[in-house]
Structure 1
């Protein structure tokens, strides 16, 4: 990734694409600016924060509003998604900050920010759909400002709002996921990295070639940041040693075979890899979901009929796979179901390579908890 006076860029294939900043970064920047203005009484028009990716975000501050009583300040940051197609680009991400009687930092959603109505999401039912990493970023920015001005004992409430967010949410999967009333405030790195299919596949091939040039016969792969984090935190593996396939599972397998690998070890969250157990080659939601249908079918194959019928509808009505995992485990047949799932994933990976590759799989669920692995996965991972 390259940073210069024009912004943040990432080179994919032969293209140089401009990165953007997530709604989480925008929210944190707006909250920081609003709190500084609440404390000092003076307007500011730029603020800098450091997202988890480690690339500074210098945000322009707009639409500054103060209550006449002077007990709250609201301001906005314009979301810029860079060269990534994003329905939220150009939206105003607003933060209202006020002091509270009780110590601590309270974060909530206002107009245009969705609210969670079904279990299994990043936040509990009833909470604003502001995910964990954005909440952490907002809290960190608020804490830093309070410490800078010697006000660490003060309580602060931050309310994030997105005018027009309710209409924007209709263009997303939020209504299907049970997030109602607006968009979600998202982002795990704080940076929006633009993606195009051709550019991503070029990048995947390049990374695979680098691994092959290192003399490896086994490729370590993960669908995304969650898989990379899992490998690092659970197995201590340097994230640079794994290739990120994104949603292109089938293409990654084909490229690995073409580049001469004989083995591949895939590690990923059940929410992605369960789709592969059903033969889905690209795990992007635009090609269909089918996660619950696949888990239901696997359960039917591994449970007595009466037990299966008692949980069938509950599984099908789940929003997230981690919720379904809990229901399946309640039956006492979880080990059988997830072993069948992992074996199916492995079989499809090998089939897609036209038997040029031997494959092993590690699947994890919520909070980096390993759910299941195929027979040789643990011995293979020790080789990395």
Structure 2
């Protein structure tokens, strides 16, 4: 009997469903008899087509058309699974600044650091413009409004607020495919990538997701040296040790990597959290006074706890950060040795929600120089 597990199924990111709904709505706006059940999109990244089902489509009394799709992120632990995405399309004003005006409605988050602009990012906008522009008649403009009816409630369950996005979800991502990085089968694919890179580089950079991957390049790190681990940091570090990698630089958001300081090496929130508890323990370890430790422990989020610490005293916050990243190095090296009986040098760099480096361990400074030169 074949016991091989099937490869995890990929899905699509939220921008893809928003765009598909906008295309279906525009077609109906052009021809009320066009009620396409499926829309074929060009994903741009990767440059391939995607068939996206349209759940509902209806012209509205004000002359606009509403299309509804449902998110399908594939075999991944994703809280947006099956959430409805509404795409409302209407003719625009002749004097609007762009041929396609893209707006965020209910459930699309606001970027508080960007004058409350809707959290509809570059890829989502490029995807919509690319797929809708060829359909617009000469002399016409469009207004596209994306609505996420469940977005406000779902946004409260994410770390969006830590990155300055409030009151909803983001149409985030740099690509159309949603790879199931939390699904067990995906770990094997990540290991294959790691094996290939370990054969060519002595020092590597591990990033959990897109924010770290992007920042690594901005810091001057060669793109091919990066390894996307998603939440599988423990198994990926062990694999690196077994492959004889000399050193790994961990580059990640401080509110996520803090888990490693407490010995949690699978970082998905479905597995374990404890971030406030770990942060409070780090504070206690460097002598923060008990009332402040208690305030951090009872904070609603780790980001709120960190803000309490920053407001108290900048030097104290930096002391806690330094302890945290050095502690991550120690726990990571011990984890690899315990599971692989191999030594691996691990250094940690953490960034905040503005993608600014806020702390780096002593080992990270040396490793950063190594990944730039060897």
Q: Name the structure 1 match of 2:49.
A: 56
Q: Name the structure 2 match of 1:4.
A: none
Q: Name the structure 1 match of 2:87.
A: 95
Seen in structure 2, the aligned counterparts of structure 1 residues 169 and 364 have a Cα distance that, compared at 3 Å, is: closer
Map 1:302-317; keep pairs closer than 5 Å.
302=286, 304-305=288-289, 309=291, 313=295, 316-317=298-299
Maintained 8 Å contact 2:123/2:173: no
Maintained 8 Å contact 2:348/2:361: yes
Maintained 8 Å contact 2:203/2:367: no
Quote the RMSD (CA, aligned, Å): 4.0
Correspondence 1:230 to 2:211: no
Correspondence 1:79 to 2:60: no
Residue 169 of structure 1 deviates from its aligned partner by 4.9
Maintained 8 Å contact 2:108/2:152: no
Equivalent pairs counted in the alignment come to 353
TM-score by length of 2: 0.76
Map 1:304-383; keep pairs closer than 5 Å.
304-305=288-289, 309=291, 313=295, 316-319=298-301, 321=303, 324-330=305-311, 331-333=313-315, 334-354=317-337, 356-375=343-362, 376-383=366-373
Q: Name the structure 2 match of 1:27.
A: 18
Residue 276 of structure 1 deviates from its aligned partner by 0.5
3-state SS of the aligned residue for 1:65? strand
Query: Once structures 1 and 2 are overlaid, which stretch shifts more, 367-376 or 203-212?
Result: 203-212
Residue 35 of structure 1 deviates from its aligned partner by 3.6
TM-score by length of 1: 0.74
Q: For structure 1, list consecutive stretches of 5 or more residues without a partner in the other structure.
A: 1-12, 117-121
Residue 341 of structure 1 deviates from its aligned partner by 0.9
Of the three residues 239, 254, 257, the one matched with 1:273 is 257
Maintained 8 Å contact 2:258/2:324: yes
Q: Name the structure 1 match of 2:236.
A: 252
Post-superposition CA distance 1:19-65 (Å, at most 9, x none): 21123320122124324543565635235242544443343444221
Maintained 8 Å contact 1:44/1:61: no
3-state SS of the aligned residue for 1:285? coil
Partners in 2 of 1:350 and 1:185 — Cα distance?
36
Partners in 2 of 1:146 and 1:203 — Cα distance?
37
Map 1:178-189; keep pairs closer than 5 Å.
187-189=173-175
Partners in 2 of 1:349 and 1:33 — Cα distance?
49
Maintained 8 Å contact 1:51/1:191: no
Q: For structure 2, list consecutive stretches of 5 or more residues without a partner in the other structure.
A: none
Correspondence 1:200 to 2:182: no
Q: Name the structure 2 match of 1:67.
A: 60
Seen in structure 2, the aligned counterparts of structure 1 residues 150 and 233 have a Cα distance that, compared at 3 Å, is: farther
Map 1:293-308; keep pairs closer than 5 Å.
293-302=277-286, 304-305=288-289
